[in-house]
Amino acid sequence: MRKTRHFVVSGSLLVLALSAAGCSNGGEHTGNKAAEESEVIAYQADYPVYDSLDEVVKKADLIVKGTVVGSTVKELRPETSTDTDPLTNPQAGLSEEEAAETDPVVITVSEVKVSEVLAGDAEPGDIVEVSQLGGEQGNVTYQEKHTTTLAKNGTQYVLMLAGHGASAPYDLLNPEQALYTAGERGKIEPVGDGGFENAGTVRTLKERAARVK
């Protein structure tokens, strides 16, 4: 059975449509133990899309290079809305008790140790938290097709982040267009297929940020 729920959340993730579909190794439930241990919930989300790397750089509140030193999977519930229009508020007509029973959104919050600041208010050695849609809870994996979860394996990432206040984690402006790795000699490569090619090096990106901001 396929269920869809809609949430409005703050930040770069503007409108989230959760399409929950349990599957076993990409197929249907078979009723065996292996199937139960490989359930996947597929998320679908709408993100801002940018026409150029300069647009992403200009919009970013913080651009850093760093590595993941830890992560936590959390549940995020949509804010209760008093809007009674079901087109803009999928919880319209629900009581507070019913709204509280809405399925939470699973996110992964990674702790990134900053090695270099390309733009924004941070210092090398700082730990910044970065939230991403999806994660693993028990035997269930929550996935969004455009999101590559930051890995704690020594990878040097270049992250273009949106800030939401001192008490909230940052998030990527776009899960593909704002996520890169820094390789040998600082060469920057996109992690996802939707990232910008020929992004240059960490040094040239820092110069680009100084120019466009």
Which band of pLDDT confidence, cut at 50, 70 and 90, is reported for residue 78? low
Query: Which of 3.30.420, 1.20.1510, 3.30.70, 2.40.50 is the CATH number of 48-212?
Result: 2.40.50
The answer, yes or no, to whether residue 20 has pLDDT greater than 80, is no
Per-residue pLDDT tens over the stretch 97-149: 665 666 678 899 999 999 999 999 999 999 999 999 999 988 888 888 899 99
Average pLDDT over residues 173-186: 95
Q: Is residue 87 scored above 70 in pLDDT?
A: no
Among 24-38, 75-89, 125-139, name the one with the lowest average pLDDT. Answer: 24-38
pLDDT in tens, 1-15: 233 333 333 334 433
The stretch 176-184 carries a mean pLDDT of 96
Q: What is the mean pLDDT of the chain?
A: 80
Q: What is the structure's pLDDT at 84? A: 56
Per the model's pLDDT, the better-predicted residue between 204 and 104 turns out to be: 204
The pLDDT tens digits of the residues spanning 182-191 come to: 998 999 999 9
The predicted model scores a pTM of 0.78
pLDDT at 91: 52
3-state secondary structure the chain: CCEEEEEECCCCCCEEEEEECCCECCECCCCCHHHHCCEEEEEEEECCCCCCHHHHHHHCCEEEEEEEEEEEEEEECCCCCCCCCCCCCCCCCCCHHHHHCCCCEEEEEEEEEEEEEEECCCCCCCEEEEEEECEEECCEEEEECCCCCCCCCCCCEEEEEECCCCCCCEEECCCCCCEEEECHHHEEEECCCCCCCCCCEHHHHHHHHHHHC
Q: Is the pLDDT of residue 19 over 80?
A: no
